Amino acid sequence: MSLIYEPSGMAREYSPYALNLYTQCPHGCLYCYAPSTLKKDAKDFYCVPRPRRAVQERLLSELSHFTPQKQVLLSFIGDVYGETADDNALTRWVLQVLQERNVPVAILTKAAPYRIHRDLTLMTEFGNRIQVGASLTFNNDDDSRKWEPGAALPWERVGLLESVSGCGIPTFASFEPVIDPAQSLELMERTIDFVDTYKIGKLNRHKGAEGVDWTKFLESALAILRPAGKRIYIKQSLRQAAPGVRLFGNECLPDEHCVPFGGA
């Protein structure tokens, strides 16, 4: 299998291409799908990961034959800016290689901000060919520690998006899973001034959301984001859960919100 690959299913809604640099994760999120998908025990998956074997050689070989013209997401497995055995050195090297080849990149993280801050100068060299996102689930530290014990706390992720935006780098927020709709809506309001794109789903592969009024949640989210002129993508899972909510065409097209924006 190629390192840079075309994701399928729900993952395809995030990006036309993806690149996974690590196959483990330190965050320990209770709702994570990766251990079951990879057929790994939680104790083998939730740890400080090491880089995948021969990533550098394989990536250079692939790029000598094919340079993606569409967005590559880092990553669906683990967090390229989480705690890693190489202190994110592989992530930095891969970004340098992709930048030199003009490959558009999206980064999705729940990691401590200082890890990304070290590479902000490199990221600015991409221009509008990069966007940095954070998964936002709670605005309550206690809930975050319960559900995502190894991830950065909510205020750290919000602060990361604000600082990245302040450097002129496009930002996005991923609201999936939505575990407490009220907290998700409050986070949308808190980030409205410095997040460019909002990608919103629902709680998948985890019991406990049977009583959520998804129509009310989606209507409330749109009432916050639309007047602010935000770019919005509503994932298929939420569209199916709230079929009566009228959406605009660009709110249902995942690739509309990939970099480079406007095809530049």
* Rounded Cα–Cα distance for residues 117 and 95 (Å): 14
pLDDT for res 206: 55
What is the mean pLDDT, run by run of 10 residues, along the chain of 264 residues?
A: 88 93 89 78 82 94 94 93 95 97 96 95 96 97 96 97 97 95 97 98 66 94 98 96 96 91 42
pLDDT for res 262: 38
pTM of the model: 0.93
Domain range annotation of the chain: 4-263
Contact 130, 104 (CB under 8 A): yes
pLDDT for res 163: 97
H or E segment to which residue 5 belongs: strand 4-5
Partnered with residue 130 across adjacent β-strands are: 105
pLDDT for res 210: 65
Architecture of the domain spanning 4-263:
Alpha-Beta Barrel (3.20)
Partnered with residue 264 across adjacent β-strands are: none
SS3 state of residue 130 = strand
211 Cβ contact list (under 8 Å, min separation 6): none
pLDDT for res 211: 79
Residue type, 147: W
23 Cβ contact list (under 8 Å, min separation 6): 38, 49, 52, 77, 78
